[in-house]
Amino acid sequence: MTHPLLAAVGPVADAVGGTVVGCEELEPGDIPLRWEGAVVGGLRLPTELHGALDRLIGGVERELGRPLTELSREDKQRAVRLLDERGAFRLRKAVEDVADALGVSRFTVYNYLNAAAPTA
Q: What is the pLDDT of residues 43-66, one digit of tens each?
A: 988 766 567 888 889 989 999 999
| pLDDT greater than 60 at residue 24 | yes
Distance CA 40, CA 119 (A): 46
pTM for this predicted structure: 0.62
3-state secondary structure labels for all residues of 54-98: HHHHHHHHHHHCCCHHHCCHHHHHHHHHHHHHCCHHHCCCHHHHH
